[in-house]
Amino acid sequence: GPMAPPPALAAPALRLLVAAALLAGIASGRGDPECWGGGLTGDFCCDTKKGQTGDIQCWDGDYTFERCCGASVPVQRSPLSTRPGVASYDVAQLLVAPSVPGLPLLGGGSMPIAGIGMCCRPGANGDAARQAVLDYLLMGGRHIDDATVYKNHAQVGEGIRQAITAGVPRSDIFLTTKINPPHFGFETATDWVARSLQELGLEYIDLVLLHWAAVPTDGRACKDPKQCRQETWLALQSAKAKGQIRHLGVSNFGERQISELLALGGAPVEVNQIEYHPWVPELHLQTAEFCHRHGIVVTAY
């Protein structure tokens, strides 16, 4: 925070120092003179050879390129920055090499250790969701976590396709989505896979999770919890064999529900996504330990 000047510094001298700092800014011919000081100068920060907004290390929430340099160096924003399929302006200024490490999965291959969740915020709805996915992938992110109940498959899929068009390899992108209980059951889950791929506009989904352990509540034939989960798992296994899904897992499942799927002896349960942080109940810690013993990757939310 601001500090009082030392006693030895007389008021006239202080006024001279402030005036000198202001004159330095004015002399630089760069926007607001309050921007300059502490070694920062307009010539250094406003040099557009470093980018359309000069040196990005100079700017924060209060001091921006427009404020500090705008008087003499207007921002030349490309019209492409407002068109679908192109990164947001601020993202376009970044060059980030993808460097997200992966966790090995029982079914082969790996899953990026960190990802972006597409739930429960304004930026996960409508066109903002598409732009968020596109920007995230162009910035170097690779893992996207979605679900049917988030109601944005179409926007997420469009963002992925636009990133692919922009040069991000599809093989580098890891898309997770989740099937919720109203779609449990063999036939219903089979239909869900086809519909989800159509909504996403993609040829395959990297990881599908059973979103939580429950049963449909609309009077459908699939009423027994264990039967519902196992039928759903078998349907997803069939889709995996066709190449529509690459990996299978669960979400919010405990040891008993996972064991029911393991007992089928088919595709392994590769992931369990659960609430996991220092304050979770002991049961969550026990579930994570169970998963680790069986080679199941734990995804924390």
Select which of 150, 204, 276, 301 is catalytic. 150
How, if at all, do strands 245-251 and 174-179 pair?
unpaired
Torsion of CA 136, 141, 143, 148, to 10 degrees: 0
The answer to whether 237 and 194 have CB atoms below 8 angstroms apart is: no
- Helix (H) / strand (E) containing 187: helix 186-200
CA–CA separation, 160 vs 60, rounded Å? 30
How, if at all, do strands 143-145 and 116-117 pair?
parallel
Angle between helices 225-241 and 186-200 (to 10 degrees): 50
Q: Would you call 150 a catalytic residue per the annotation?
A: yes
The sign one gets for the Cα dihedral 73, 78, 79, 81 is negative
Angle between helices 126-138 and 153-165 (to 10 degrees): 30
Burial class (CB in 10 A: 0-12, 13-18, 19+), 53: buried
Q: Would you name the residues annotated as active-site residues?
A: 150
